[in-house]
Structure 1
């Protein structure tokens, strides 16, 4: 019961990593606000039993982030943990086929969202004597070869953001870290997994990492729970990679200029 009586916000909690982590927090006694744009967040709260409240919100909207932080403080007397997990994929097209509008939206959700979480959550966490903020980055943010251009750039930004925030929160007892998932079966990747199953090649999913398999949301949730807990009391400003070893190499099919990758 590492989170007994702790006030916790999880964005992107409607499915995948966000749902798994919200349930993990609630199972360990956390008072959880499960937030997501999707109505599926209500199902997450129901699965968590009496330990969660569902809120539909846009993680890239400052007004919505302020509202959900205020709700946590009103309902639970303050805030201890914020897991800024909400994100969108943005496609895998070549940079030269993507639009500025697409990039703006990916950055708004994937990078500005965590910035807003830190901006509005950290002062409230300080009021409780300290706590943790965890942001979802990605192995795609470490180097090329694991995601589309807009998505990868946004996640690289998240990694630097947590480093910068950790420094600017010096002396506050608020730790800020990122988790960098590899290939995980979530709503964002579901189409690829479904396609592989349809074609009978499910065994090829995740074959490029040393564990030769994809991950599941609960494997990320366990790491997030650790980073958010007092067990990680000396972990700050770090990007924890959970990818089966994929980022030790990042093997990739090259996409040549003017050609479509095979």
Structure 2
């Protein structure tokens, strides 16, 4: 029960990694604000309450400053303050071809995936500092480490998240508030559902995650458990880091070469 009495916000809590993590936090005594733009937030909160935990749902757009401020205010009003934020909400979007993508697509992906975590840090950090210590965790991606794991807009946004947590950790020096990121590999979520469904429909499920040494995709709970670790006192000396959870995918260089104007060979 590492989080008994702790006030926690999880964005993107309506499904996938966010839902799994919110339930794990609550299972260890956390009081969780489940934030999402869909009614999945209400469903996740209901699951937690049914399991005997404490949760409050709120509908927000994670890339909208007023909405993020409302979520922080709710946590403080309902649970007496704020100790932990998991800025997990994100979207895909964009197309594989860098030179065919549009500025409008990039703007929306960056708004949610990068400005969203910035807003979470901006509004949550002062409240967490007031508690004396705490943690902020953001979802980045292996796509933010190097090319080959996502589209250009998505990859650039996640690279920004990695740099953001480094900057935030430095700017919160002396506050006893730690800021870290998780870089998931291929995880079965709503964002990857299409790929998983296609593989299963065509009898190629055994190829899912085939490029990593574990030869499988990951589960949302496997990311959630890392988020809990980073938010807990067990990670009290980890700060400003991007922790990779990808089955070993990023331990190797690419096995295909991309030629300009041609398919990979």
In the alignment, is residue 77 of structure 1 matched against residue 88 of structure 2?
A: no
Q: CA deviation at 1:257?
A: 2.3
Partner Cα distance (1:160, 1:90) in 2: 21
**Partner in structure 1 of residue 242 of structure 2:** 239
**Partner in structure 2 of residue 20 of structure 1:** 20
Partner Cα distance (1:113, 1:255) in 2: 32
Which of 95, 112, 117 is residue 114 of structure 1 equivalent to? 117
Which of 170, 173, 182 is residue 170 of structure 1 equivalent to? 173
**Partner in structure 2 of residue 157 of structure 1:** 160
**Partner in structure 2 of residue 59 of structure 1:** 62
**Partner in structure 2 of residue 191 of structure 1:** 194
SS in 2 for 1:70: helix
In the alignment, is residue 43 of structure 1 matched against residue 43 of structure 2?
A: yes
SS in 2 for 1:75: helix
**Partner in structure 2 of residue 220 of structure 1:** 223
Asked whether the equivalents of residues 183 and 244 of structure 2 are also in contact (C-alpha less than 8 Å), the reply is yes
Asked whether the equivalents of residues 93 and 153 of structure 2 are also in contact (C-alpha less than 8 Å), the reply is yes
Q: CA deviation at 1:92?
A: 3.6
Query: Please, which runs of 5 or more residues in structure 2 have no aligned partner?
Result: none
Which TM-score applies when normalising by structure 1? Answer: 0.97
The farther-off stretch of 11-20 and 85-94 is 85-94
Q: CA deviation at 1:260?
A: 4.8
The farther-off stretch of 33-42 and 218-227 is 33-42
Partner Cα distance (2:180, 2:133) in 1: 14
**RMSD across aligned C-alpha pairs, in angstroms?**
1.1
Asked whether the equivalents of residues 145 and 250 of structure 1 are also in contact (C-alpha less than 8 Å), the reply is no
Which TM-score applies when normalising by structure 2? Answer: 0.96
Partner Cα distance (2:177, 2:216) in 1: 35
Asked whether the equivalents of residues 94 and 105 of structure 2 are also in contact (C-alpha less than 8 Å), the reply is no
Q: CA deviation at 1:253?
A: 4.0
Which of 244, 248, 256 is residue 259 of structure 2 equivalent to? 256
SS in 1 for 2:86: strand
Which of 208, 211, 215 is residue 208 of structure 1 equivalent to? 211
The farther-off stretch of 84-93 and 18-27 is 84-93
Q: How many residues align?
A: 262
Asked whether the equivalents of residues 180 and 239 of structure 2 are also in contact (C-alpha less than 8 Å), the reply is yes
In the alignment, is residue 133 of structure 1 matched against residue 136 of structure 2?
A: yes
Q: CA deviation at 1:261?
A: 5.0
Partner Cα distance (1:132, 1:250) in 2: 33
Partner Cα distance (2:140, 2:263) in 1: 27
Partner Cα distance (1:193, 1:145) in 2: 18
Partner Cα distance (2:83, 2:194) in 1: 35
CA offsets 1:199-253 (integer angstroms, 9 cap, x no match): 0000000010000100000000000000000111100000000000000115354
CA offsets 1:52-79 (integer angstroms, 9 cap, x no match): 1111100000000001000101111100
Query: Please, which runs of 5 or more residues in structure 1 have no aligned partner?
Result: none
CA offsets 1:105-129 (integer angstroms, 9 cap, x no match): 0000000000001100000000111
TM-aligned CA distance change 1:206 to 1:259, over 3 Å: same
Asked whether the equivalents of residues 141 and 182 of structure 2 are also in contact (C-alpha less than 8 Å), the reply is yes
